[in-house]
Structure 1
Amino acid sequence: MIDQHHDTILIVEDDRTNLSFMADALARSGCKIEMAANGIEAIARAKSGRLDLILLDIVMPGMDGFETCRRLKQSPATSDIPIILMTALDDTADKVKGLSLGAVDYITKPFQAEEVLARINVHLQMRSLTQELENRNSELERRVVERTAELTRALNDLRKFQLQLVQSEKMSALGQLVAGVAHEINNPIGFIEANLSHASLYVFDLLEHLQLYREALPAPPEKILDHGEAIDLDYLMEDLPKMIASMRVGTERIRNISLSLRTFSRADANEAVPFDLHQGIDSTLLILQHRLKANSDRPAIKVIKQYGNLPSVKCYPSQLNQVFMNLIGNGIDAIDCASAGMSYEELEKNPHWIKITTQLGADGDSAVISIEDNGVGMSGEIQQKIFDYLFTTKPLGKGTGIGLAISRHIVEEKHRGHLSCSSQPNCGASFRITIPL
């Protein structure tokens, strides 16, 4: 029945008799009735309130039913309201015209109440079913959007977890290797340093004792004089202390290398700790020293360090060292790529470099590290993808596509900082790290 939904129907009719007949018939069926005498009034009422159906007379003064129907269907606010045209004419062409304008049915005058109610009831039910279908579709689309968002979040979380696992395993393996090397260096260096201290004292004592012999025996036997000349005793006595001092400098250098290795491989605590970023950068450069040196394909890569006055930064040291290694390593790769096809002489005339600059941020609340190179550079399209998981421009087997993704995760997720890149083809690249103090 019509009245179960309390549908609202607009009757557009300029004939008061027909208007009264339709209104009475529909009111008895439980419908809410609104009335309009012309097309202009009908459009205004349709836009101002919720209507379930419109009964529209074709022949009216001024704007006829066809034009009224066309305007109603063109307006987004009223286009979905079903329109039944009312006419005393039985011209097929008029019916086709009305249906082509968007009307759903025709009622022919004089009206038969039962037929009118039956047709209205059918179209109201169709409208109700259509609205229910639209609601269900909207609900389904909403659920699809929500589910898609959930899956996207889950995928992003999984990728982050994978990055964390890869980074953790990579740093753990590298850290164990470097720490093991540092430990193995420490033992013999400690032994050598301890014995050098005693050896230098012994050598000084022996030389002093030898000098006393020379003073006490100004004319030693010929055999001793010949042996002294053979071993160049005077030069030996002068050079031996220098040799001992040189050995001490060498052991000190090895000791510093060992300390740098330990700095690079240090295990992070559960909480961030104060750390000298310059130590981290220097230890990373030490690890990569073999790649910076000259080889058969190119001269050595010059490292330019412009360190500012930075305080200790509260961070996860080994993770930031991993970021430094990824960025500096990528710079070396870019330089190697740019060097391909150039002669050694050309490269010596146009040397390659990596510049590392540190400074306080403009606000004074952050440390800024810039790592630049004059390598092959990259296009804007590649720049938009370089931090994507598994994206790489390197040949198969040369790159994994996770180094920069891990670096961004470490800087932005673990340290609440920012990592960005600017580059142009054949003009090198510059990576900028900002870490809050």
Structure 2
Amino acid sequence: MNKVSTNGFILIVDDNPTNLSILSAALASEGWRFRVAVDGASAIAQAERNQPELILLDVQMPGIDGFETCRRLKANPVTQNVPIIFTTALADTESKIKGFSLGAVDYIPKPFAQEEVVARVRVHLQLQQLTQSLEKQVRDRTDALQKAQVQLVQQEKLSTLGELIAGIAHEMNNPISFITNNIPPLQEYFDAITELLQLYEQAYPTPPAKITNFIRNLDLKFVLEDIVKILSSLQVGSERIQHLSTSLRSFSRSDSDTKLAADLHLGIDSTLMILQHRLKANGDRPGIEVMRCYGKLPHVNCYVGEMNQVFMNLLANAIDALDEAITQGKMCDRIPQIHITTDVNSQQMVVIQIADNGIGIPERLKQRLFEPLFTTKPVGKGTGLGLSIAHQIVVEKHNGTMEVHSQPGIGTEFAIAIPI
């Protein structure tokens, strides 16, 4: 007859020494490990400390009887999945129905027949092992499906976002070039016209009344000064648009099949440029200060586009956290800030820390932040994939680490470390 292997133990609960002796002998004959409890209270304590694979539970015991012991074991999340077989001399249907309704899986009648004890225990150990095996297969399959789903979403998001941003940057190039290339000659023409007007003024210090009135109505001196300011503003504005275009092109580099040596500071700065509109003051909300404390980083071998997506997720989350804190009136007199720190640690890994001074994350939620589809945001505000994808990119694609440190009321910090 096939033996049922077990790495755990069977708990026998009975206050009768004779019953304990018979049951112990039956289990020992099959090589099964077992422990003994002589009352319900000690059985509950033992099972909670070390979960048995099966419990043989006497119904009629002093103090807490078998039915109450079963009820408490099934009410405890730690022991609720342990199969319970009642051992009893009660043969009435009502007692059996009560036992099954409390969660028992079987009955072994007294007086015991060793062969019946062994047969029933073997069947339920096999069922328990099959159940555990199936549960593990389901968990593994679910994890694999979730991982595949996250990867597909990540690739789709990267591809779509990269194409969209690259297209916008490309379309911006022509009008930007047109504006920036025409500002210098426009400045030269204006300077020449200004000089010409000054020469006319020197040659004809007393022009006719018609010209004098026109100059007065136009306020020529103000116009000439204002044109200088307008040209300067155009120059500054066009340079900012150029920087944004460069940032968009840098951010949209997918290079998904190849790792390239990259300047991660450039990736962070490009992301901040794209998020600039969200950092500015908005209505009653003050502007968010970004404090950069950059160390001296070497170029890092990485998937550039994917690392930029990590920065985008973490920085956008920090902004969301600060917006939420301000909306809830929990910032008091604090200025909303994001601190970005970079350095190389003793393990020769680049460490990037992105911290906000928002309301923080409760400990019970912190443990689940990197789970696929888990989100703390209201319905319609988040997919629950951002941090999961970021974690996958850092940990699985770059052999790095991603940790979160948070204190309610003080803020949250995400720390990334990837090998150089």
Is the TM value for this pair above 0.5?
yes
Alpha-carbon contact 1:334-1:375 (below 8 Å) kept? yes
> Do the aligned partners of 2:256 and 2:305 also contact (CA within 8 Å) in 1?
no
The one-letter amino acid of 1:171's match is L
Q: Does 1:394 align with 2:377?
A: yes
State whether residues 207 and 237 of structure 1, in contact with CA within 8 Å, keep that contact through their aligned partners in structure 2.
yes
Q: Are 2:312 and 1:325 equivalent residues in the alignment?
A: yes
Q: 227, 231, 252: which is aligned to 1:240? A: 227
CA contact (8 A) 2:336 2:358 kept: yes
Deviation of 1:288 (Å) = 2.3
What do the CA deviations read for 1:314-351 (whole angstroms, capped 9, x no partner)?
111221122122222222222223223429xx74x222
Is 1:359 aligned to 2:340, yes or no?
no
1:385-411 CA distances to partner (integer Å, 9 max, x unpaired)? 111112222222222221111111111
Shift in Å, 1:267:
2.3
Q: In the alignment, which residue of structure 2 is the partner of 1:46? A: none
Q: Shift of the alpha carbon at 1:222?
A: 3.2
Matched, 1:371 2:360: no
In the alignment, does 2:409 pair up with 1:426?
A: yes
In the TM superposition, residue 252 of structure 1 has moved relative to its aligned partner by 0.9
Equivalent residue number for residue 414 of structure 1:
397
Matches within 5 A, 1:6-405: 79-80=29-30, 149-342=136-329, 347=332, 349-363=333-347, 365-405=348-388
For residue 435 of structure 1, report the CA deviation from its aligned partner: 1.2
The one-letter code of the counterpart of 2:390 is: S
User: What RMSD, in angstroms, separates the aligned Cα atoms of the two structures?
Assistant: 3.4
Deviations 1:281-323 (A, max 9, x none): 1222222223222233532222221111112211112211221
Query: Do 2:244 and 2:274's aligned partners in 1 also have CA atoms closer than 8 Å?
Result: no
**Aligned counterparts of 1:281 and 1:319: Cα–Cα separation in 2:** 12
Structure 2 gap segments, 5+ residues each: 2-16, 32-113
> 1:366 offset after TM fit, Å?
1.2
**Structure 1 266/78 Cα, relative in aligned 2: closer, same or farther at 3 Å?**
closer
Alignment-derived partner of residue 46 in structure 2: none
Name the % identity.
Answer: 45
Output the amino acid matched with 1:421. Answer: V
Contact 2:256/2:306 (<8 A) preserved = no
CA contact (8 A) 1:72 1:78 kept: no
TM-superposed CA distance for 1:371, in Å, is: 1.0
State the AA in 2 paired with 1:431: F
Report deviation, 1:72.
10
User: Secondary structure, in 3 states, of the residue corresponding to 2:177?
Assistant: helix
Instruction: Name the SS of the counterpart of 1:355 in structure 2.
Output: strand
Superposition misfits of 4+ residues, deviation over 6 angstroms:
69-73, 136-144
Partners of 1:379 and 1:207 in 2: CA distance: 65
Structure 1 contact 72–79 (Cα < 8 Å) conserved: no
Look up the SS of the partner of 2:404 in the other structure. Answer: strand
What residue is the counterpart of 1:23 in the other structure? Answer: none
C-alpha separation between the residues in 2 aligned to 1:240 and 1:297?
A: 34
Aligned position for 2:89: none
Shift of the 243–73 alpha-carbon distance from structure 1 to 2, 3 Å rule, reads: closer
Q: Structure 1 residues 321 and 204, CA, compared in 2 at 3 Å: closer, same or farther?
A: same
**CA–CA distance in structure 2, aligned partners of residues 73 and 79 of structure 1:** 10
CA distances 1:77-128 after superposition (whole Å, capped 9, x unpaired): 95449xxxxxxxxxxxxxxxxxxxxxxxxxxxxxxxxxxxxxxxxxxxx98x
The alignment covers a number of residue pairs equal to 323
Q: Aligned partners of 1:242 and 1:70: how far apart in 2?
A: 99
Taking the aligned partners of 1:404 and 1:280, their CA distance within structure 2 comes to: 18
Asked whether the 8 Å contact 1:307–1:359 carries over to 2, the reply is yes
Structure 1's unaligned 5+ residue stretches are 6-66, 82-125
Deviation sequence 1:41-92 (CA, Å, 0-9, x none) = xxxxxxxxxxxxxxxxxxxxxxxxxx9x9989858995449xxxxxxxxxxx
**Which residue number in structure 2 is paired with residue 60 of structure 1?**
none
Change (3 A) 1:173 1:218: same
CA distance in 2: counterparts of 1:71 and 1:377, whole angstroms: 58
Q: 1:418, 1:76 → 2: CA distance?
A: 52
Q: Summarize deviations over 1:239-283 as a string: whole Å, max 9, x none.
A: 434432332222111111111122222222411112221222122
- Cα distance change, pair 292–246 in 1 and its aligned pair in 2 (3 A): closer
Q: Which amino acid aligns with 1:402?
A: L
Letter of the 1:264 counterpart: F
Matched position secondary structure for 2:403:
strand
Check whether the contact 1:411–1:433 (CA below 8 A) recurs between aligned residues: yes
Q: Distance in 1 between matches of 2:186 and 2:325?
A: 51
Q: 2:373·2:383 contact (CA, 8 Å) conserved in 1?
A: yes
Cα distance in structure 1, aligned partners of 2:260 and 2:225? 50
TM-score (normalizing by structure 1): 0.65
